[in-house]
Amino acid sequence: MAARGWTEDDIADLSGKTFIVTGANSGIGFEAARALAEKGAAVVLACRSVEKGEAAADRIKMAHAGTKPEVRELDVASLASVRAFAERFLREHARLDALVNNAGVMAIPRRETVDGFEMQMGTNHLGHFALTGLLLPRLIESAPSRVVSVSSMMHTRGRFGALDARDLRLESGYEKWLAYGRSKLANLLFAYELQRRLGVAHPTVLSVGCHPGYAATNLQSVGPEMSGSAVGRAVMAASNALFAQSARAGALPTLYAAVAGGVRGGEFIGPGGPFKMWGAPVSQKSNRASYDLEAAKKLWEASEELTGARYAL
């Protein structure tokens, strides 16, 4: 279990280490990238919008002299973008100490990615599945290293039956919150299955899941904005103001999963306070469905089929 009260101050010097944080231009991703860069790491901000990524990098550099965060274009909702990003990173970087799969969308109206996947599953899981597979050889070469999958307590709303490619596309019966929960459950099924597949052959490459609790980020506003719901936007804003912790506090479980000592592969890190929504990071249990071995195997196989990703394990 993580030490109670763990904060950014407990992060050791990260000079010489390289990290990728997807969706690093705002929210949890930005705060994680900022903290890693502040501790001396080379951090790649992998962002769909290069303009927003550059603005985020400038904020980090202005606040912390000497940091040199890089910005690279990555749209995890596009397999072509995922491949292009991975190819460029592998050309430019000889090591990768941790991949933080953070980018995501939440509770949006039904949309499809450019590859025809339901947007929440395509962005939150399938794009990161492909990205991790492409970068895994570099992670193995750089071991000890980690893959961090940022999930949510909303994974408890996710359900998998007989999982196949058609299920992942959610072509009928779409409900935005159930679809979001399903994608967040997929994050954990993937994280735990990756750890099992790494096994004894790669004991120092760890796959770790985490969640931020309830943190105020712009993620909550996207769904209401896409739906054109002024009431939804107002409710989200009020809820964030009244109940949410800051994005900086919400990033602590991600940072702990990425760099803290004593972390074990297959752990799930989240806030240790009331309702697992606030507080310092601790190791905790996800729901029973996330440990379903058969569902994890079927999800992996379907993800390979849909993305074309094959893992070098």
Q: Which amino acid is at 123?
A: T
Q: Which residues are catalytic?
A: 180
Helices 293-307 and 176-198, axial angle in degrees (round to 10):
100
Residues 6+ apart with CB under 8 A from 54: 71
In this structure, are residues 208 and 257 in contact, taking their beta carbons and an 8 Å threshold? yes
Q: What is the per-residue pLDDT for 175?
A: 92
pLDDT tens for each residue of 190-233 = 999 999 999 989 999 999 999 999 986 665 445 445 545 554 44
Least confident of 118-122, 157-161, 308-312: 157-161
Predicted confidence band of residue 4 (pLDDT cuts 50, 70, 90): low
Residue 106 has pLDDT above 60, yes or no: yes
pTM: predicted TM-score of the whole model, two decimal places: 0.90
Q: What is the per-residue pLDDT for 160?
A: 61
Cα–Cα distances in angstroms (integers) from residue 293 to residues 150, 170, 231, in the given order: 20, 22, 41
Q: What is the per-residue pLDDT for 166?
A: 58
Q: What is the per-residue pLDDT for 236?
A: 44
Q: What is the per-residue pLDDT for 243?
A: 54
Q: What is the per-residue pLDDT for 275?
A: 73
- Reported residue count of the chain is 313
Higher pLDDT, residue 244 or 254 = 254
Q: What is the per-residue pLDDT for 216?
A: 65
Distance CA 285, CA 80 (A): 35
Q: What is the per-residue pLDDT for 239?
A: 47
Q: Any idea which residue has 């990728």 for tokens?
A: 20
Residue 28 has pLDDT above 90, yes or no: yes
Predicted confidence band of residue 290 (pLDDT cuts 50, 70, 90): very high
Higher pLDDT, residue 155 or 169 = 155
CA dihedral 95, 87, 69, 106 (to 10 degrees): -110
Burial label for 63, CB within 10 Å (0-12, 13-18, 19+), is exposed
Full set of structural domains in the chain with CATH: 8-305 (3.40.50.720)
Q: What is the per-residue pLDDT for 240?
A: 45
Distance CA 38, CA 248 (A): 13
Residue 179 has pLDDT above 50, yes or no: yes
Distance CA 53, CA 46 (A): 8
CA dihedral 8, 14, 20, 21 (to 10 degrees): 10
Higher pLDDT, residue 240 or 58 = 58
Least confident of 21-25, 162-166, 180-184, 207-211: 162-166
